[in-house]
Amino acid sequence: MKNYPYLILLLMLFTACYSPERDCDRFKTGTFQFESYLNGEMITSTFVRNDSIEIDHFRGKTDTSSVRWINNCEYILKNLNPKNRAERQPIHMKILTTSKDSYTFEYGLVGESNKKKGEVKKLQD
């Protein structure tokens, strides 16, 4: 029972040193796929991103957004041709973790604290 606090301290030390992989530079350009549930239905969106433009293909429609990188893992996405007031709001994107061909991210409207998470798969460079 005396060693119990030391064991907890040792476990905390090892877990505190772990940091997830974040090689965000690999995901600045390429073709990507995002899957999400919308009204109980699985939907798929494909987008192509270069350093400053993102072209999104969703349900036969195409949208173009500007990409402004804040740092290697965060950027602001702004629709270039908004059709309504909601589409005018820029979106803050933050890559949380990366793997060989995908990344996990969180996103939300700029200035709002409500964030959602998603995962994107890279299809090609």
pLDDT tens-place values along the chain, 125 residues long: 566 666 565 556 565 555 567 789 999 999 999 988 778 888 899 999 998 999 999 889 999 999 999 999 999 999 999 989 888 999 999 999 999 999 999 999 998 889 999 999 999 88
Domains of the chain are 21-124 (2.40.128)
Let me know if 116 is exposed, middle or buried by CB neighbors in 10 A (0-12, 13-18, 19+).
exposed
